[in-house]
Structure 1
């Protein structure tokens, strides 16, 4: 069942990297990305930050627990002159190299670890992922700064800044 997200969408995706430098990628079972290599991704839910959302989405789609290293990109577009579609893209590392990929069968056809060079040459790689595979974005990521409170008056229960250090 599809949720009504209104006309301003905020999604997240994450490049999760293993100890060999491979990326965790998925082939979705639906949408315009059906059967194409893309990143685990989804929408931000009420009550969570974007970095919490990407950790949840990666876990839900692949079974992999990860940690956000930084923000590496942002995708934005307008669908049919009506819907503002936005996505924060994060760089992540798996927490335990022994974890096994376990797909969410309703949404994911396949998930595996591939090298960026393999993705850049694969005809079934999504446009965004191909572009990412040809760049060294991890050198330019914005890193999370935690432990900051802008003031109790705002009522934040979770708060992070992302800046280049």
Structure 2
């Protein structure tokens, strides 16, 4: 058994369109089934966290994004055995036509904050984020790779 298999790393995107609407999805399964939530998923072994969030958003919704920066971290422990961690990124959509992954989602759409705040199907995280007046952000910086001794094939800093 791997030493880290009980440490999960996921990413989610707060995708904000020019008109202020947010991209939200309804999962077909899991704890958020039937609730509006942010497009999200797990980081794969061969990608950085910002690459993971862009991939997940595109796979789930057909929306390509520019990742603007890191706005939050959600960290919890499930049943005292799994460290469940999620990085939330602010993203700008590069297209507007939502084509959602029907195997995973029952719906996906751009919704106004007013719609989301008044919808009983909005997740707690959406309610929390919708009330923040400004999202502080850690942006990707031009970092020097710390050297070949570490064997990084990708290396990024967010400050």
Give me the whole-angstrom Cα distance separating, in 2, the residues matched to 1:40 and 1:161. Answer: 23
Give me the whole-angstrom Cα distance separating, in 2, the residues matched to 1:101 and 1:31. Answer: 22
Q: CA RMSD in A?
A: 1.3
Flag the 1:22–1:33 CA change in 2: closer, same or farther, 3 A: same
Mapped pair 1:148 → 2:137: no
What is the match of residue 74 of structure 1? Answer: 73
What is the match of residue 91 of structure 1? Answer: 90
* Contact residue 26 and residue 112 of structure 1 kept, 8 A: yes
What is the match of residue 118 of structure 1? Answer: 115
Residues 110-148 of structure 1: CA distance to partner in whole angstroms, max 9, x if unpaired? 00001223212211100111100110343x111111352
Matched residue count:
156
* Contact residue 25 and residue 38 of structure 1 kept, 8 A: yes
Give me the whole-angstrom Cα distance separating, in 2, the residues matched to 1:137 and 1:120. Answer: 17
* Stretches of structure 2 lacking an aligned partner (at least 5 in a row): none
What is the match of residue 101 of structure 2? Answer: 104
* Contact residue 143 and residue 157 of structure 2 kept, 8 A: no
- Superposition map of 1:2-41 within 5 A: 6-41=5-40
* Stretches of structure 1 lacking an aligned partner (at least 5 in a row): none
* Contact residue 146 and residue 159 of structure 1 kept, 8 A: no
What is the match of residue 44 of structure 2? Answer: 45
Q: TM-score, length-normalised on structure 2?
A: 0.93
Q: TM-score, length-normalised on structure 1?
A: 0.90
After TM superposition, what 4+ stretches of structure 1 lie above 2 angstroms from structure 2?
none
